[in-house]
Chains A and B, each alone.
Chain A
Amino acid sequence: MTVESRAAAIELPAFYRWLDRLMHSRNLLGLIFMLPASALLLIFLTYPLGLGVWLGMTDATIGDTGRFIGIDNYISLAHDSVFWLVVFNTLLYTVVASVFKFGLGLWLALILNEHIPFKAFIRAIVLLPFIVPTVLSAVAFWWIYDSQFSIISWALVRLGIITQYIDFLGSPDLARMSVIIANIWRGIPFVAITLLAGLQTIPPTLYEAATLDGATPWQRFWHVTLPMLTPIIAVVMTFSVLFTFTDFQLIYTLTRGGPLNATHLMATLSFQRAITGGHLGEGAAIAVAMIPFLLAAILFSYFGLQRRRWQHGGGD
Chain B
Amino acid sequence: MVAKVGALDKSGMEYLVSLPRKVVTVYIPLAIFLFVLLFPFYWMTLTSFKTNEELYDFKHYNPFWLTHPTLANFHKLFFETDFGGWLWNTIFVSVVATFLSLFASVLAAYAIERLRFSGSRYVGMAIFLAYLVPPSILFIPLALMVFKLGAFDSLWSLILTYPTILVPFCTWLLMGYFKSIPYEIEECALIDGASRFQILWKIILPLAVPGLISAGIFAFTLSWNEFIYALTFISSSENKTISVGVITELVEGDVYHWGSLMAGALVGSLPVAILYSFFVEHYVSSMTGAIKE
C-alpha gap A291/B129 in the complex (Å) = 13
Contact A133 B224 (CB under 8 A): yes
Question: B88 within 8 Å of A by Cβ?
Answer: no
Question: A166 within 8 Å of B by Cβ?
Answer: no
Give the residue name and chain of the B residue nearest to A137 (CB).
B40
Bits for B44-74, please: 1 = Cβ < 8 Å to A, else 0.
Answer: 1001000000011010000110000000000
C-alpha gap A200/B27 in the complex (Å) = 20
Residues of A within 8 A of B33 (CB): 104, 108, 111, 126, 188
Give the residue name and chain of the A residue nearest to B200 (CB).
A33
If A194-B291, A207-B13, A274-B140 touch, whether A122 touches B145 (CB-CB below 8 Å) is no
Residues of B within 8 A of A189 (CB): 37
Cross-interface CB contact of A116 among B30, B160, B265, cutoff 8 Å: B30
C-alpha gap A287/B228 in the complex (Å) = 13
What distance in Å separates the Cβ of B185 from its nearest Cβ neighbour in chain A? 17
Interface residues of A in 242-298 (CB under 8 A from B): 242-243, 246-249, 252-253, 266-267, 270-271, 274-275, 280, 283-284, 287-288, 290-291, 294, 298
C-alpha gap A23/B34 in the complex (Å) = 55
Contact A40 B164 (CB under 8 A): yes
Contact A197 B107 (CB under 8 A): no
Contact A34 B134 (CB under 8 A): no
Q: Indicate the size class of the contact surface on chain B.
A: 35 or more
Question: B91 within 8 Å of A by Cβ?
Answer: no
If A41-B164, A45-B164, A139-B247 touch, whether A30 touches B262 (CB-CB below 8 Å) is no
Interface segment, one of A73-81, A140-148, A170-178: A140-148
Question: A44 within 8 Å of B by Cβ?
Answer: yes
C-alpha gap A4/B37 in the complex (Å) = 80
Contact B134 A242 (CB under 8 A): yes
C-alpha gap A114/B24 in the complex (Å) = 13
Question: B207 within 8 Å of A by Cβ?
Answer: no
Which residue, B111, B116, B143, has most C-beta atoms of chain A within 10 A?
A: B111
Residues of A within 8 A of B104 (CB): 36-37, 40
Residues of B within 8 A of A31 (CB): 117
Residues of B within 8 A of A249 (CB): 227-228, 243
What distance in Å separates the Cβ of A132 from its nearest Cβ neighbour in chain B? 4
Bits for A100-134, please: 1 = Cβ < 8 Å to B, else 0.
Answer: 00001001100110111000101111111101111
Bits for A225-252, please: 1 = Cβ < 8 Å to B, else 0.
Answer: 0000000100110000011001111001
Contact B37 A128 (CB under 8 A): yes
Question: B255 within 8 Å of A by Cβ?
Answer: no
Question: B272 within 8 Å of A by Cβ?
Answer: yes
Cross-interface CB contact of B142 among A48, A208, A235, cutoff 8 Å: A48
Residues of B within 8 A of A252 (CB): 227, 231, 247
Contact B160 A124 (CB under 8 A): no
If A44-B164, A51-B145 touch, whether A136 touches B137 (CB-CB below 8 Å) is no
C-alpha gap A149/B57 in the complex (Å) = 9
Cross-interface CB contact of B141 among A35, A48, A133, A211, cutoff 8 Å: A48
C-alpha gap A48/B137 in the complex (Å) = 9
If A34-B123, A126-B37 touch, whether A154 touches B43 (CB-CB below 8 Å) is no
Question: A204 within 8 Å of B by Cβ?
Answer: yes
Interface residues of B in 174-217 (CB under 8 A from A): 190, 195-196
5 pairs from A and B in contact (CB 8 Å cutoff): A48-B141, A114-B22, A116-B26, A136-B268, A274-B143
Task: Tell me the B residues contacting A by CB distance below 8 Å.
Answer: 3, 5-6, 9-11, 13-14, 16, 22, 26-27, 29-30, 33-34, 36-38, 40-41, 43-44, 47, 55-56, 58, 63-64, 100, 103-105, 107-108, 110-112, 115-118, 120, 123, 127, 130, 132-145, 160-161, 163-164, 167-168, 171, 190, 195-196, 221, 224-225, 227-228, 231-232, 242-244, 246-247, 258, 261-262, 264-265, 268-269, 272-273, 276-277, 280-281, 283-285, 287-289, 291-292
20 new A-B contacts at CB < 8 Å, known A132-B269, A136-B264, A196-B288? A30-B111, A30-B120, A34-B108, A37-B104, A40-B163, A49-B138, A55-B144, A111-B33, A114-B22, A135-B244, A135-B247, A139-B247, A143-B47, A149-B58, A194-B288, A197-B288, A211-B13, A271-B228, A283-B140, A290-B136
A-B pairs with lowest CB-CB distance, top 10: A30-B117, A197-B288, A33-B111, A37-B108, A267-B136, A51-B141, A246-B134, A48-B141, A36-B104, A204-B9
